[in-house]
Amino acid sequence: MTQDLSDVQDVPYRTAAEPGAPVAPTGRFMMAHPAHVLALGFGSGLSPKAPGTVGTVWAWATFVLLQHHLDDLQWGGLILASVLVGWWACTLTARHMRVMDPGSIVWDEIAAFWLVLWLASPMGFWGQLAAFGLFRFFDAVKPGPVAWADQLFHCVNPATDPHAWRKAGWGIMLDDLVAAFCTLLVIALWRVWW
């Protein structure tokens, strides 16, 4: 059961331990706070099917649009800022939704896939498509270290841990960053062997 957005207005002033039904992400919810816009990937996370994949496609499209306009230092700064600001946005949005790791939060996919595309560049379309497939595999299947990172902060409880939502924000970001590094490792090994 979900509640409408009118109930969300009070969420920032509630304690993290206060119970409440999860809040469904909608366009109205997204536009209620700048953190929601960012965390929901400028609307890509509102996709009813495979929001993580849609968010990754959004990341790919924006990378292609920006890749010739930003140098390495600017890309590094953008990705660092996207992780730090993304932690804040994911933390706040998850708290407002009352869900520790909502599937509609896709900023983690966006920041992580930008990292993959930037560090693996230069790549043509087919290389980027392969990177996309690898990243989606690691993010969705969560083998080994990705599963570890995904579960690291899932045991936090807002009722007993006053920092639970901050930890949840890092948890949201962390598993995708680990998936990005696994993707980069496979790409590096492929380049060495072939």
d(CA 58, CA 109): 9
| Sequential DSSP letters for 105-124 | --HHHHHHHHHHHHHH-S--
Higher-scoring residue by pLDDT: 38, 156:
38
Could you report the per-residue pLDDT of 93-136, keeping only the tens digit for each? 999 999 988 999 999 999 999 999 999 999 999 999 999 999 99
Pull the structure tokens for residue 32: 């209620």
Task: Catalogue the E-assigned strands of the chain.
Answer: none
Residue 16, pLDDT above cutoff 70: no
Looking at the structure of the chain, the number of domains it has is 1
pTM of structure: 0.86
Could you report the per-residue pLDDT of 165-185, keeping only the tens digit for each? 888 889 999 999 999 999 999
Pull the structure tokens for residue 3: 């509640």
Task: Tell me which residue range forms the domain holding 142.
Answer: 5-193
CA 98 to chain centre: 17
